[in-house]
Amino acid sequence: MIEVALYLIPVGLSDAELSRVLPQHNIQVVREIKHFIVENVRSTRRFLKKCDRDIDIDTLTFYELNRHTRPDDIPAMLKPLSSGEAMGVISEAGCPAIADPGADVVAIAQSRGLKVIPLVGPSSILMGLMGSGFNGQSFAFLGYLPIDASQRARKFKEMEQRIVRESQTQIFIETPYRNNALVAELCRTMPPHIKLCIATNITGDGERIITRGVKQWLTMLPDLNKVPTIFLLYK
């Protein structure tokens, strides 16, 4: 029997076999949970079936938590946990509450003194950083960069300063259909002493994590249109 807690349950980032990216323990935890707070019900069902094809999905309750959820509806989702039943949080890819929904429900659980247990799983942020060769003693994840041109230029300048002055690796993502524009812009704008790591399809078939100077990238820009990618900058 598992502990009564809010389990944060990572899912894969790619089509890789679960045994490649998740500990066996996670599958055991999943099997014992009846109430799931999920970003997307359909993809969660698919994930649960991949964990164990014998899971009886019809006996489970799903609470949807995504950008369409009204904040006022979140606290009530934790009722089963408050009355002694383990719950799980599952996002669409990777680790819930990291660059994905989930943090708000965890915050409510914390404020009520409910136990929270994160499980191990793949994170493109962390795996990109490991593979980049950049500073892992000091780094920041910024999420999506601003779209507005002047705000974006300011953000680029700020990232450059934090790399130079604080030796802090800067990590960010972009809406996948804008990846190519972002890389071209970055490599043109950043000074030559800045390095860019492009990490694509992490844990997937075509995984590539490659670090080069920005001016070197300019001469060999890859096609990243709609490819799952994480970007890292350092000196």
Residues engaged in binding its own copies (CB under 8 A):
8, 17-25, 95-100, 102-104, 106-111, 116-118, 120-123, 125-143, 168, 197, 202-203, 207, 209-212
Nearer to its own copies, 77 or 127 (CB): 127
The answer to whether the CB of 204 falls within 8 A of the CB of 195 is no
8 Å CB contact between 191 and 161: no
Least distance from its own copies to the Cβ atom of residue 58, Å: 29
Tell me how far, at minimum, the Cβ of 167 lies from its own copies, in Å. Answer: 10
Nearer to its own copies, 57 or 153 (CB): 153
Span between the terminal Cα atoms of the chain, in Å: 49
Q: Which amino acid is at 36?
A: F
To its own copies, the closest distance from the beta carbon of 93 in angstroms equals 13
The residue (of 57 and 140) whose beta carbon lies closer to its own copies is 140
Question: Nearest-CA neighbor of 208 among 186, 190, 185, 224?
Answer: 224
With respect to its own copies, which residue has the nearer C-beta, 80 or 121?
121
Closest CA to 199 of 218, 216, 181, 174: 174
Q: Provide the angle, in degrees to the nearest 10, between the axes of the packed helices 24-32 and 41-51.
A: 120
CB of 174 to its own copies, least distance (A): 14
Give the shortest CB-198-to-its own copies separation in angstroms: 11
CB of 190 to its own copies, least distance (A): 17
Judged by DSSP in three states, 104 sits in helix
Residue 107 or 164 having the CB closest to its own copies = 107
Residues 6+ apart with CB under 8 A from 219: none
Which stretches of 52-178 are DSSP H helices?
79-82, 103-111, 124-132, 149-166
Given the complex with its own copies, which of 59 and 233 has the nearer CB atom?
A: 233
